[in-house]
Structure 1
């Protein structure tokens, strides 16, 4: 990728961003307007069940969106649906069908399709599709995790089209807003080499760039320096922002950076990685072509960072190396957090 692209152009290349939808934030508090959209025959609902989304069974799977009449025919209700926004005058809502303790989706949903993991399906989707599903997954996950007030323990209720939860206690009345966990992800380069590592839980041969969560009271640049040093013992010298990507697995925003460091010995420090290595462009190409190295999926910002560095070499493009990406593992059980 040409690094002269501006940040908006870069974000257009990173997947899972619902950039096309107008969130109409100034009308979320208009209950009558939200109600009218819920009852509009053209409104589409994104069904979510245990963090998974509905896909048809075709050779090229497509997301299945429902209309109000579909939901009514299944004996379900649109109550509690979360307003996502408008696109070309049509409203979109996320509808969480997860029932506590229920092992299966609601009866009749199997005739519509199969609930599948967005992380595995996203490479097959159009950017608008993956962005919409990611948005729906993230906001419904937040609702699942905030059914009770963190201050007094009282139940909470949805408000403002699903973008606020209100504590029902008259003595508390806390307003709870959606939060996104910031995480830094960085391509560290030294001369003609880049630094890649692998976690023990990843598929065999998969390596990626370094990443980690930002801690309280920490600047993003400081988080980059700390994470790289903690995981590999490498000291970063210069840092430049690259682009960002929402990562709703379960609720992160990946903040991408490019950094330079002096190539030196690697010391695995905090147990996050089981291995880390310096790869020259020649070594990376050879390992990928021989099937000894699996790269992150092209939809991810990790791939974008690696691509921007590799393509600067001028002799080849990373995408020309062919299919070399790892297949994502099934996500952890609903309610578990994962980086």
Structure 2
């Protein structure tokens, strides 16, 4: 078990779930001068600076448009943090709160350059606002839903239904398969040129995590695995996954890929991967991903 959290995990916020039903406390914290707002616009996070030297774009409630819907993220000491979804704005760059102060961008394009706590807060805000944007209507009866409990519930407005809907996360397994001093990496057509990564896939209903690991590896590469060992997890709100990381020991070694899953998969030795150079024909996955963490931990024992 690693002794440090993966990027986007952990963080400094106390989620104060016991206070989410206290509307007077929520209203007071939202209006407090020290409260920080985490804006999200159409699944993009606000940042100060640029993509070379970004900082989390945290604002105050006074900066934002009237009528915006707020979702409590938590407390750091006495400072409350709220996410706000500004997707109704046609062009936030023209709003005085944002014009000339920063820009909205996909967190994946700059997240790895942030500090750990800032990355966690922005990922949390992105994931929560995404869930709200996809659950405006009740999945049971089809009526409108409204946000409740500081944004951690959506409740059906049909009094005959009144179903409470809670934020959902899609569990996905991601695994480094190894055979002695070599590991199995694959690439999908959408990957950047030369990038090889660990295999991954979503957990299906009625399936254990170990079963999902074995099934996904076989489906994608024709490799069978035996021992499966949990490594760590990572929230991955792109859009709404929880990545559950494993190491798995191969029991067969002949690779056969299906083109609708992977365009290629190969065995690579430690020395081969350690010899990959910047700008060379092969590259590892992004630095903020659990895939990179699984590979790095294996490379260095």
TM range (shorter): over 0.9
For residue 59 of structure 2, what is the aligned residue in structure 1?
Answer: 66
Separation of aligned partners in 2, 1:146 and 1:136: 16
For residue 256 of structure 1, what is the aligned residue in structure 2?
Answer: 245
Structure 2 residue 13 is matched with structure 1 residue 21: yes
Separation of aligned partners in 1, 2:105 and 2:258: 36
Q: CA deviation at 1:290?
A: 6.8
How does 1:285-296 map onto structure 2 within 5 Å? 285-288=274-277, 291-296=280-285
Q: How many residues align?
A: 298
Q: Out of 75, 91, 102, which is 1:104 matched to?
A: 91
What SS is found at the alignment partner of 2:268? strand
Separation of aligned partners in 2, 1:160 and 1:36: 15
What SS is found at the alignment partner of 1:202? coil
Q: Out of 30, 33, 46, which is 2:25 matched to?
A: 33
Structure 2 residue 164 is matched with structure 1 residue 175: yes
| Inter-CA distance 289–86: structure 2 relative to 1 (3 Å threshold) | closer
Separation of aligned partners in 2, 1:282 and 1:88: 46
How does 1:47-196 map onto structure 2 within 5 Å? 47-57=39-49, 60-71=53-64, 76-77=65-66, 79-99=68-88, 103-105=90-92, 107-108=95-96, 109-196=98-185
Query: Does structure 1 conserve the Cα–Cα contact (< 8 Å) formed by 2:111 and 2:288?
Result: yes
C-alpha offsets along residues 276-310 of structure 1, whole Å, 9 cap, x if unaligned? 00001122233446711110122211011001111
What SS is found at the alignment partner of 1:110? coil
> Could you list the runs of 5+ residues in structure 2 that have no partner in the other structure?
none
Query: Does structure 2 conserve the Cα–Cα contact (< 8 Å) formed by 1:17 and 1:135?
Result: no
Separation of aligned partners in 1, 2:228 and 2:288: 23
For residue 235 of structure 1, what is the aligned residue in structure 2?
Answer: 224
What SS is found at the alignment partner of 2:28? helix
Separation of aligned partners in 2, 1:139 and 1:282: 41
For residue 297 of structure 2, what is the aligned residue in structure 1?
Answer: 308
Larger mean CA deviation between 224-233 and 268-277 belongs to 268-277
> Could you list the runs of 5+ residues in structure 1 that have no partner in the other structure?
1-5, 313-339
Separation of aligned partners in 2, 1:289 and 1:61: 23
What SS is found at the alignment partner of 2:45? strand
Separation of aligned partners in 2, 1:79 and 1:228: 44
C-alpha offsets along residues 154-208 of structure 1, whole Å, 9 cap, x if unaligned? 1100000000000000111010000000000000000111000000111110100
C-alpha offsets along residues 242-272 of structure 1, whole Å, 9 cap, x if unaligned? 0000000000000000111135210113621
| Inter-CA distance 256–293: structure 2 relative to 1 (3 Å threshold) | same
Separation of aligned partners in 1, 2:225 and 2:177: 8
TM-score (structure 1 length as normaliser): 0.85
Q: CA deviation at 1:112?
A: 2.2
Query: Does structure 2 conserve the Cα–Cα contact (< 8 Å) formed by 1:148 and 1:154?
Result: yes
Q: CA deviation at 1:107?
A: 2.3
TM-score (structure 2 length as normaliser): 0.95
Separation of aligned partners in 2, 1:25 and 1:276: 44
For residue 299 of structure 1, what is the aligned residue in structure 2?
Answer: 288
C-alpha offsets along residues 117-157 of structure 1, whole Å, 9 cap, x if unaligned? 10111111000000000000000000000000011111100
